[in-house]
Amino acid sequence: MRPNLESALTRAWLRRGPLALALLPLAWLFGLLGALRRRLYAAGWLASTRLPVPVVVVGNIFVGGTGKTPLTIWLVQALRDAGYAPGVISRGYGASQAVPRLLTPDSLPQDVGDEPLLIAARAGCPVMVGRDRVAAGRALLAARPEVDLILADDGLQHYALRRDIEIVLSDSRGNGNGWLLPAGPLREPAGRRRDFTVVNASQAVPGMPASAIRMRLEGALAERLADRTQTRPLAAFAQAEGAGSASTPPRLLAAAGIGNPSRFFATLRGAGLRFAEMPLPDHYDFADNPFADVAADIILITEKDAVKCRQLNALKNDPRLWVVPVTARIEGALLDQLLEKLRGRSPA
């Protein structure tokens, strides 16, 4: 029932139809409460804390996934190349620990979340998970004193942590119908202040500022889940599909448990693949194996889903499962502009 409700709301959030209109009074109340909260922080009635190193927040106002994890990985790598020693703090969706926890090679997704594990693996940087971003930041600096810049993954609305730079990430859905929750998909007004807007889309998106920087997610290879040393170009799957007799072509399935599964499917179609689609709820835990009764020869999944599949005996050795890593490509001078802003904020 929950997936059906989420699907209905997602469709309603992209236009100003009857359901969205019916929820508009609640959206006004949500907006008033959010504005009051922001003013209380601005006036000092609610406490906010500045950490002794610069803090860059990467977040979104569109509820759900917009591609923050690939962008955070790109930022870590770019800032490291520029001479910084960045670390990441994250809420860790579904994390079971109330106190901050530094990720280790033995960390499990049910304890720290899937996205922090992916960031730590791909970016090779220290990652601290905690519900309280201020406590997580302090714990990270205590555990890894070499860190001289903190990236806060998905902390845009966590105003208890002061930030030096805000990056708002959107995708091809833009601002949806432009209304706040629950009548629309926005956590905060579309015109909220920010330092940078990054748009994860292949084409221009209506409603985005003229200064928006475009981001693309590229994936050219797939690696077998059971053995990462086995890799194949995505184009090879397209060739395989067309090989053999017309009655027995290899059957391809693409599955994605991310905030916007259609984005993953679009990446695969861009590589020339034809496949059946299996959209899964965001942060799907795979406790129930969705592939058990699937008649597919090859199943393509996201890196985020692979983090959890590798922990499950029913999935980690399934030879049909192939992971498609994606890399963020940033158009424009985001790094140069970011470094320029950071020059005015040195570690204390």
| DSSP type of residue 62 | B
In terms of Cβ atoms closer than 10 Å to its own Cβ (0-12, 13-18, 19+), residue 256 is buried
Report the alpha-carbon distance of residue 255 to residue 262 in Å, rounded. Answer: 10
248 known ligand binder: no
Among 169, 158, 153, 156, residue whose Cα is nearest residue 304: 153
Identify the residue whose tokens are 């949500």: 30
Alpha-carbon gap, residue 116 to 87, rounded angstroms: 11
**308 labelled ligand-binding:** no
64 marked ligand binding residue? yes
92 labelled binding-site residue? no
- How far, in Å, CA of 79 to CA of 34, rounded? 32
Can the peptide bond before residue 100 be classed as cis, meaning omega within 30 degrees of 0?
no
- Is residue 65 a known part of a binding site? yes
d(CA 133, CA 142): 14
| Residue listed under structure tokens 């999935």 | 315
Q: Which of 172, 232, 176 is nearest to 63 (CA)?
A: 176
Q: Is 94 annotated as a binding residue?
A: no
Question: Does residue 198 have a known ligand-binding role?
Answer: no
CA-based nearest residue to 107, from 99, 118, 122, 123:
118
By the 8 A CB rule, do 238 and 286 touch?
no
Answer yes or no: is 68 a known binding residue: yes
The whole-angstrom separation of Cα 182 and Cα 78 is 36
Angle CA 77–68–177, to nearest 5: 150
Q: Is 290 exposed, middle or buried (0-12, 13-18, 19+ CB in 10 A)?
A: middle
Q: Which residue ranges are tagged as binding site?
A: 62-69
Q: Which residue ranges are tagged as binding site for ATP?
A: 62-69
